[in-house]
Structure 1
Amino acid sequence: MNRLLKQVSMVVVSTFIMTSMLTHAASLPDFTELVDDASPAVVNISTEQAVTTKTANEGGQQLGPNSEELNEFFKHFFGQQPFGQQAPQQQGPRSSLGSGFIISHDGYVLTNNHVIDEADVIHVRLNDRREYVAKLVGTDPRTDLALLKIDADNLPIVKMGDSDKLKPGQWVLAIGSPFGFDYTVTAGIVSATGRNLPSDSYVPFIQTDVAINPGNSGGPLFNLDGEVVGINSQIYTRSGGFMGVSFAIPSKVAMSVVDQLKQDGKVSRAWLGVLIQDVNNELAESFGLDRPSGALISRVLPDSPAEKSGLKSGDIIMKFNGEKIEHSGELPYVVGQMKAGEKVDAKVYRDGKEQTISVTLEARPNDPKVLAQSQQDQNRLGMIVGELPAEMAKQFDIENGVVIEQVIGGTAARNGLQQGDVITMLNGQRIEGVTDFSRIAKDIPSGRSVPMRVIRQGYPMFIPFKIME
């Protein structure tokens, strides 16, 4: 009797497991129809560039997989030299490999700017093996997009979708040419939306766990309706390969860029002229906010729309042109979507109360000196600093200094600096403001430690600050 019961139990358990497996399999999406319909509009892109180079590691420094400066940054992922290996001397044409997709029957093709950057010749190969030499219509490096045109008609096209409707957890699919394997399909889910990366403040990226590798650059990201909702652009990696975190440019951003590239061959953006930082819990408390939100202005650039409108360092922008600003990274995208000359309202929190300030936006300067200097500082020191907000100075009784708005790796990360730290002294010299800091930082010698006085959440300390170059 016991043996019979045992056999019956095993049959019941086996049946339950099989039923669960079948139910689970039935709930997973079948991508075959989507791939059949979409693949003909996905293209392979290769480029040629006449170059004469020495070894890629010309300085003789070995860059291994544990190289902190390289591994902590977001990598564009086509045609990279493997870390730790030197490229041989090369003369003549050089090819890169990426992906793209056709957006119009008469031959407009969208891809990443970094796929075709500095190319002399761009080749576009279709799914049916037809190959064309493409004309470059225009590029937008800030969003890493490029628009190409091939001389052909009646081409298959992708369906463009609405990236604003994407939600974390939804299935997405990528088609591209990783490592040169044409029309490779990978799938995953949306991990997050609206990601702001340190290197790309004009793009609210879609984060996914879709497997993306060298050669996927510029390829489409589809939703389950077969619509393009993103353009695969970047990965986060410590190894140089896919590690489960990839980023795509939203289709809404891409099509806005396409419209301008078609019309003018370039993209024009409005400019506000402020340096901003996030509001953390301590800053929110010091400013009297109920919770952290908004974009804190750490510096107003001279002769900028912000300065002309009366915006001040220490203002917290809570809304801009009706758009709520929860994180500081959202503001550049909102401003960048607007046109020069537009007059908009900025709702700011100042001196414990909200007020509305009218701002007339202007065209972004090509190379404002103050921004150029800021870029030099962050490249060498691995951080972005801003003016010390008055409220923060009052809360922690700080007389002078600059606040670290962002640690982007390299020297600052190695020395243990953090966002929100206040630097009051460097190499024995008192820091009065950003201009002062830039002047002193420029003269710091490499390879030798200098004293830096830092105040962290009200507690002062000295650290040995050393720049390795």
Structure 2
Amino acid sequence: MRTLLMMSVLLLSATLSLQVSANLPDFAELVEENSVSIVNITTRQQVPARSGAEQRDLEELLRQLRPDGIPDLEPESVPGRPRSGVGSGFVMSSDGFIITNHHVVANADSITVTLTDRREFTADIIGTDELSDIALIKIDAEGLRAVRFGDSEGVRVGEWVLAIGSPFGLEFSAAAGIVSAKSRNVPSRGPANYVSFIQTDVAINQGNSGGPLFNLEGEVIGINSQILSSTGGSNGISFAIPSNMALNVLEQLRESGAVSRGLLGVLIKDVDHALSMAFDMPRPYGAFVDDVQPGSPAEDAGVQNNDIILAFNGIIIEQSSQLPFYVGQVRPGSSADLTVMRDGDTLELPVIVGALPANDQAFGGGQPPEPRGNSLALSVGELDPGLQQEVPTLAQGGVQIEQLRDGPGRSAGLATGDVIVSLNHQPVRNVREFNRIMESLPETGFVPIRIVRDGRGTTLVLELQ
């Protein structure tokens, strides 16, 4: 009886094991079919020799560490030393166009591409784009096997993906995992985020950069670009550039060697819980317009401060960081549609997208002193006429914060010197108007307050308790 029971248990275990195996993907055929399209990329960069002053500083440091003395070193005799790097890439077209990351080939003096059959070629850079971290290079070869691209928009969280690359120089290594999340925004190498990444748990390491991320159909749905790690190795969090966005960039690089991006000309921030409550939104989403740049496409389209951009070309904007990504995909001069919420109404605004310049979106602000105040824990004074003439956005007036203490104003991020131009959706032109509006504020809830700081407008939210 016991023997029969044990045989039944073993049979059940084997059956379950077969069922689990049947549900797991077999990556072997995918790797065999696509590995021929993967390349290893080696770069070399000549590091300049140390100057005489740098060499003397080094010698002084060594003397401090070695009191017994060090050999004499002649600065002129210390040559520049080469520095090498390794990355991955893959074939875009049979005539030798190769895709990789910008950071893999940036500043390289020479680029060597190695195919799976061990042939080596010297590559030329066709164009690179730092904002998307994409580069297009070219080797003198024909008859290469190009990859097939898939639709990154159709990728689902939880589906299997496969990466092939050269982690730590181990050429043509395969690693599998799943899509962990979509539309991830991570710190950008440029002035703004123009990539909405695919996050995976694939074991991506140094050297995988620039390699492809495949779906189970053998289609490239991403370009491996970054990892999140405390050690420099894989912690199970990696990020890939979506193929749909990459193709847009690659097409421009192949045509002109450079990339142009769309621009609206607005300073934006997330709609958090406080802003959504202050503007009577059912939930927080969209991009809050803090300031419309003068003469920008947004201003021409009729976008106003305190508008909330809910959608761009029909695509819902859940987080403000998504807006630059979608706008950046549109060629300058093209028309687009904005869905905007203003004073509780939804508006459709057509816009002609401009071209992206460099733009610093940071706001300044100092630490306010301890002061007296009123029910908002701040005190205000009349606007300096000279400041009003100097700053065009203050033409209609305002009041300047003179002092702050702990309270709603400081918690919201106000600082002394800020100019209040509206409170609770009502314009503030002088101290009398400010006091009148303040007296009518509710005892609790969220109230928007618009200020001008360093010549730029922004809207904050006071939480009244």
Give the whole-Å Cα distance in 1 for the aligned partners of 2:213 and 2:360: 34
Partner of 1:362: 354
Deviation for aligned residue 1:339: 1.7
1:374 to 345, 348, 362: 362
Give the whole-Å Cα distance in 1 for the aligned partners of 2:377 and 2:348: 30
1:303 to 286, 295, 300: 295
Mark the CA change 1:197 to 1:23 in structure 2 (over 3 Å): closer, same or farther: same
Mark the CA change 1:309 to 1:421 in structure 2 (over 3 Å): closer, same or farther: farther
Q: Deviations for 1:311-368, whole angstroms, at most 9, x for unmatched residues?
A: 2221101122222222212211211111212233312111111122232221112x3x
Give the whole-Å Cα distance in 1 for the aligned partners of 2:317 and 2:143: 44
Ranges in structure 1 where 5+ consecutive residues have no aligned partner: 60-88, 382-395, 401-419, 439-453, 460-469
Query: What SS does the corresponding residue of 1:225 show, helix, strand or coil?
Result: coil
Normalised to the residue count of structure 1, the TM-score between the two structures is 0.72
Deviation for aligned residue 1:305: 1.6
Q: Deviations for 1:11-34, whole angstroms, at most 9, x for unmatched residues?
A: 222221222112212221111111
1:256 to 227, 248, 272: 248
Deviation for aligned residue 1:114: 0.4
Moved more, 24-33 or 351-360: 351-360
Give the whole-Å Cα distance in 2 for the aligned partners of 1:128 and 1:421: 63
Give the whole-Å Cα distance in 2 for the aligned partners of 1:129 and 1:295: 50
Q: How does 1:257-406 map to 2 (within 5 A)?
A: 257-365=249-357, 367=358, 371-372=359-360, 374=362
Partner of 1:74: none
Q: Deviations for 1:389-408, whole angstroms, at most 9, x for unmatched residues?
A: xxxxxxx89889xxxxxxxx
Identity rate of aligned residues, in percent? 47
Answer whether contact 1:423 1:431 (CA < 8 A) is retained.
Answer: no
Give the whole-Å Cα distance in 1 for the aligned partners of 2:352 and 2:126: 31
Partner of 1:195: 184
Q: What value does the CA root-mean-square deviation take over the aligned residues?
A: 2.9
Mark the CA change 1:35 to 1:53 in structure 2 (over 3 Å): closer, same or farther: farther
Deviation for aligned residue 1:90: 8.2
Deviation for aligned residue 1:302: 3.1
Partner of 1:162: 151
Q: Which has the larger radius of gyration?
A: 2
Partner of 2:454: 436
Answer whether contact 1:51 1:90 (CA < 8 A) is retained.
Answer: no
Mark the CA change 1:339 to 1:98 in structure 2 (over 3 Å): closer, same or farther: same
Answer whether contact 2:43 2:112 (CA < 8 A) is retained.
Answer: yes
Answer whether contact 1:211 1:242 (CA < 8 A) is retained.
Answer: yes
Partner of 2:161: 172
Query: What SS does the corresponding residue of 1:372 show, helix, strand or coil?
Result: coil
Answer whether contact 2:49 2:81 (CA < 8 A) is retained.
Answer: no
Answer whether contact 1:190 1:209 (CA < 8 A) is retained.
Answer: yes
Deviation for aligned residue 1:213: 0.3
Q: How does 1:51-90 map to 2 (within 5 A)?
A: 51-52=47-48
2:41 to 42, 45, 50: 45
Give the whole-Å Cα distance in 2 for the aligned partners of 1:397 and 1:214: 52
Moved more, 158-167 or 338-347: 338-347
Answer whether contact 1:46 1:123 (CA < 8 A) is retained.
Answer: yes
Partner of 1:236: 228
Mark the CA change 1:19 to 1:146 in structure 2 (over 3 Å): closer, same or farther: same
Ranges in structure 2 where 5+ consecutive residues have no aligned partner: 59-77, 367-375, 381-409, 420-450
Query: What SS does the corresponding residue of 2:285 show, helix, strand or coil?
Result: coil
Give the whole-Å Cα distance in 2 for the aligned partners of 1:399 and 1:355: 37
Mark the CA change 1:45 to 1:308 in structure 2 (over 3 Å): closer, same or farther: same
Query: What SS does the corresponding residue of 2:137 show, helix, strand or coil?
Result: strand
Give the whole-Å Cα distance in 2 for the aligned partners of 1:209 and 1:265: 33
Partner of 2:7: 11
Give the whole-Å Cα distance in 1 for the aligned partners of 2:302 and 2:206: 47
Deviation for aligned residue 1:158: 1.3
Mark the CA change 1:137 to 1:356 in structure 2 (over 3 Å): closer, same or farther: same
Give the whole-Å Cα distance in 1 for the aligned partners of 2:137 and 2:265: 32
Give the whole-Å Cα distance in 1 for the aligned partners of 2:462 and 2:412: 7
